[in-house]
Amino acid sequence: MVESDDEITQALLASSEDFKRLYQKHRGLKDHVHQANTGALPLDDISLENLKKQKLLLKDRMATMIKTYRDRKLAIRG
């Protein structure tokens, strides 16, 4: 059985401080983007785009960590 991304995310949150830091920062940026989109946080378009880019970069880094975790698990199962 291959673990789902949600299961891997939970495992990494419990075992990796780096992943946990990225996850928390991503959640904070996600909240800021949502607030800006709803008008609760006034931001100009450039600032909003920068937040979105930062959020995407963090998501990509977490996806790489998830893939590495999955690949290691599959290699162990051989």
CA distance 48 to 56: 12
Phi, psi of 6 (to 5 degrees): -65, -40
Q: How many separate helices (H) and strands (E) can be counted in the chain?
A: 3, 0
Instruction: Indicate whether 64 pLDDT > 50.
Output: yes
Q: Where in the chain are the domains?
A: 5-77
Is 57 within 8 Å of 26 (Cβ atoms)? no
Instruction: Indicate whether 1 pLDDT > 50.
Output: no
Whole-number average pLDDT of the chain = 94
Distances (CA, A) of 63 to 3, 9, 17, 46: 14, 9, 15, 26
Confidence class for position 77, pLDDT limits 50, 70, 90 = confident
Average pLDDT in the 40-64 region?
A: 97
Instruction: Indicate whether 3 pLDDT > 80.
Output: no
pLDDT tens for each residue of 23-35: 999 999 999 999 9
